[in-house]
Chains A and B, each alone.
Chain A
Amino acid sequence: MEIKKPRPTIDPDSKIYWEAAKSNKLMIQYSIDTKEYFLYSKKLTNAQDSSNIEWKEVSGQGEIYSYTVIHAPAGPAFKSEVPYVVASITLKEGARIISNIVTDNISDISIGDKVKVVFDKQDEEFTIPKFIIEK
């Protein structure tokens, strides 16, 4: 029996991110007061006092802040994919987000590599924004 991969428990702070992904758009939050972008947490911004928040589509371009090649999968659902790459990515707009790097060459990844978003459609209800390396 196929073991299903985990799906996000969608909440008010992630709903538009996942909704937008279904139509191949990357959307994150933006503080109108401090002009900073973020996804979910304001921790990396100075926008903690700002409630003037809107969702904006962003370029989908960024660079690798850090990454790890996974050999011990996060449960049986990911077993068939090892080795795979999870990365923390700094978007051009400044926000840091976490996702997979899709690549055929896992030995050729470095911090600072430029990446761009691709949309990995799981089914009609769920698409995951992932990234590929821009050479």
Chain B
Amino acid sequence: MDREPCIVGVADFPLHERGRAAEGNSELTIQKYCAEQALNQAGLKFSDIDGLAVAGMWGMPGPGMMQPNVLVEYLGIKSPKWLEGTNIGGSTFLLHVNHAYQAIKAGLCDTVLILYGSLQKSNASRVLGDRPALYSNQFEVVSGLPLPVGGYALAAQRHMNTYGSSRETLAEIAVSTRAWASMNENAAFQTPLTIEEVLASKPIATPLHRSDCCLVTDGGGAVVLTTNEKAKDLNTKPIYIRGYGESNSHSSINYMPNMDHLEIAKNSSKRAFNMADLNTNDIDLTMLYDSFTITVLLTLEAIGFCKLGEGKDFLQNQRTAPGGDFALNTNGGGLSYCHPGMYGIFTIIESARQLWGLCGKRQLDNPINALCHGTGGVLSSSTTLILSKESN
């Protein structure tokens, strides 16, 4: 197929001391470093870039409200033809891949750089109560709902009530994810975790406890896409975007249609599978945004890896841990690897590395198809990508 868009380079930012960037960095140096690494991996230069997508929470109010302008200037990109700065939460970067796919396919640009950077840990900018009581959020902010965790807690409580899932169900996810992180030397937490430790961790917003929650770290990432024609001359084998889908439903958790199932993930993944002409049995690696353990449970069920309410059986006995029969979040996820605030880009980075066979100790046996899923806001937005070594 002509102008088939593909991923040719990825990078993440090295972290130390449980998720901290080295001193002397800014959100911009983090993104420049990741861009250079991803371009080097592919064998491309900044002068090859003619499309840019970026999202983040830095520099607001101020220049960060127009991040594509800041990055084009900072990186010295000469004549971009296509720009994307949509922000729908942590699911955003999968949407950027989707939109870059369409732009490249349509001939609007050839080579797109997708960027993310954050210093939220170093800047201590992450707090539970900083949100203004604005618009539909005003009611929950006045009630003292810590955000976003309180929103996810309401969904978790509802799911448990409807389907009989339990804290043990959620703990399976935290434990298997940590086991994968123990094989990622860039992960903030690599010491194995037990179900008992998860259950005994301190309550945050019931039924969610500390070990059900993502980390607060610095971090960043980059993804480079180009056409299959250009990819022929590059260092990496192209990774194709076989399917994608996106959807959203609300801003305040109170307006999530049914808190016990993630309708938008069902919709976005269905579109991705239809486009790819694949089904859940064809997926070798599943990378789901794990902002909280409940996010993973809801997403697994919504995508259809198991039926609604059957996640509690699906996840039993560490099925999703290394050596289990369902490879899930092999980088250690937002729960144990890193979570700089908008984690979605790392689902793409890990998928590409697994498909390229670059994952060392945690490398899967010749995966062909990877599914990435992003969740943003308070279960507000869903984005799905199906990445593959094979083109459509």
Q: Which residues of A contact B (CB under 8 A)?
A: 5-11, 14, 39-41, 43-44, 65-78, 81, 83-84, 86-88, 96-100, 110-112, 128
Are B155 and A66 in contact, CB atoms less than 8 angstroms apart? yes
Are B129 and A98 in contact, CB atoms less than 8 angstroms apart? no
Q: Which of B134-165 contact A (CB under 8 A)?
A: 134-136, 138-147, 149-150, 153-155, 157-158, 161
Interface residue? B202 (CB, 8 A): yes
Q: Smallest CB-CB separation from B128: which chain A residue?
A: A74
A5 to B204, CA, bound (A): 20
Contact partners of B129 in chain A: CB under 8 A: 6, 73-78
Q: A8-B142, A75-B129 are in contact. Are A44 and B259 (CB under 8 A)?
A: no
Given A14, A72, A84, A97, which contacts B254 in the complex, CB threshold below 8 Å? A97
Q: Smallest CB-CB separation from B129: which chain A residue?
A: A75
Q: Give the number of residues in B that approach A within 8 Å (Cβ atoms).
A: 42
Closest 10 A/B residue pairs (Cβ): A75-B129, A68-B153, A74-B129, A8-B138, A78-B144, A66-B158, A74-B146, A43-B255, A69-B206, A71-B203
Are A100 and B205 in contact, CB atoms less than 8 angstroms apart? no
Q: A7-B142, A66-B157 are in contact. Are A71 and B257 (CB under 8 A)?
A: no
A70 to B202, CA, bound (A): 11
Are B136 and A40 in contact, CB atoms less than 8 angstroms apart? yes
Are A68 and B142 in contact, CB atoms less than 8 angstroms apart? no
A102 to chain B, nearest CB (A): 11
A90 to B87, CA, bound (A): 31
Q: Smallest CB-CB separation from A96: which chain B residue?
A: B254
A40 to B116, CA, bound (A): 33
Are A74 and B154 in contact, CB atoms less than 8 angstroms apart? no
Are A9 and B133 in contact, CB atoms less than 8 angstroms apart? yes
Q: A7-B142, A72-B205, A84-B144 are in contact. Are A66 and B136 (CB under 8 A)?
A: no
A128 to chain B, nearest CB (A): 6
